[in-house]
Structure 1
């Protein structure tokens, strides 16, 4: 069985850069401040603590260590309808609202290097609310915030990430925005919140950490889809995207219009905290949004797709899950198909998650997650049996 070892890749770099930050002894309780991602009781370690954290249809939560292939049971939440993750937490929409699982594994992006932490997995608590919830996360799990929008009650909630890291669900604000398919996109000390007129979204508005509306509204008709990138926060609009950036506490907006009339993007996905993200465009199209260049690229996969994800690596890989359960690898430059797997499962909850050298796809029918070496002709590196059926999952520790 193939076992990937990341130690040789990252240990030297991590040890050197951790020392350069004034630091913690690797393997000991970190002496760094929270501006480096440290949390009391967690250990700073020499490599990413990559895990698969899984939730079955009844809410049983567990995780699998990807280095040791050892399982850990975490607990039980309500039956999930949807799950989002920032690479540490899983935010599961249940009948109670949004229940939060802390994997206890995370990476702190310090710009030119990273810090890696290992703590204890736990069930943090619940954000109450009515109806389907849209969750938007930021680039860091121990700083900034997480946004939750409840469709039926129209409540826009901003959560305090530092409190989450300490095991507390703390709301920075809860605003009545009226019932609609809205979103709360964290940026700076606050968040962008959709504003609807008669249930139709027309603009987005920035609210500070106290919930106060600050600055001018920005047009964004039928806003749908948001993601944090290395450059700023993207919100999808009917005619393109708004890119929001924060400088010295002030929020600025740039419009990135579509270059053609191809079907719009409504959900963005990509490797965490990279500048380029991907989105479906109709049945077989792929939009790539480069937030550094403020430009769109449109590709045609030639087959019906379920999900697309931008790797945004040096080779420009784009991964797609098609409706037959195959994972396809495309070149971002020209849309050429580079590799394709055999069918790996067609569950409605099947989803690709990825890091810099592997992708993961859950197959709940078989109770496994496939590990795919996407840069190596989409080779199946491992098929991993998870401790709970992976109806929903996240690769954590990223």
Structure 2
């Protein structure tokens, strides 16, 4: 057979290139994605991807790790400085993997946990069908205030005292406002519970001092993925402060508990991203929040109007009055127009509406990183309005979106391109 299996290689390369070309011509508003800098891309494509480094720097189970060790130790130092933590573990390969490690390290099967329900914005790894359930935890969910779009503090305090859980978990995936950690962490400590915070979505905002500061508000351990508002490669991290002897439990839970070799090329990319965030993170995070607020003000039915719409990178839009399929109709239609976001259940949606939920979840962090500012957010909202409300042909809008995006191709808030010139 001429060329043998090379045709499959060629086809994969073709799809990769097509994806990159298409993505650079769209407005990506997926709240769980971002774009990495050229320096981080260099790290991720490096020979570190070929190495094994089980264990801890200078205490490896493999030889040949002298350069890997130095990079990882730099990373621990930078992340501790960035977040004011006593220690940072860069080994988790995803946010869910970090959550697994905490559940395995700090709890036993049958222990009680209180988490945010997925319909209220919680992550699937916190749920009985996710990592928490796989650990055998008895999962309970926070009482939720739909009006405040947040955990109900009084009812939650009562629940903690009634259940006396082993662990309580703050943070989630639908996350426009800070969670009441300061109010509820002392209650959790009263009953001897660990306080965990899943910062996957807001890690970059915390790094940039634009959201809450969980480690100063009573959190024992903070987990996160490293590729949402924190603009690194896909991966995870665990941060903790004043954790005493429990550190050893987490160390064991990561290795050999829930992973063998961490992904060293991604670890190196995390380290460069931490340096970028120490240099540029406060300006980047501040612009993310400004952009989210600007996008929210442009005419759609945005959740949290009386609270200023959002304090994070996310804007939550209710489109149930525009079409019977709501988000299940709106998200695919916007994709046709080159605007990429996701449908999302809102707290009052029944679970059976998972394919036609009322909401859209919008994140502005990637478009912020390619240099877009508040006026750009208003333009994006107009594109969305033309498709969803004015019922214009999405293919016509797609051409305009692609033309609009041509001007925004560099990755700013990085050592490669600095800050946007318009700032």
Q: With structure 2 as the length reference, what TM-score do the two structures score?
A: 0.27
Q: Which has the higher contact order (CA 8 A, sep 6+)?
A: 2
The structure richer in helix per residue is 2
Greater CA radius of gyration, 1 or 2? 2
Give the TM-score normalised by structure 1.
Answer: 0.28
Higher strand share: 1
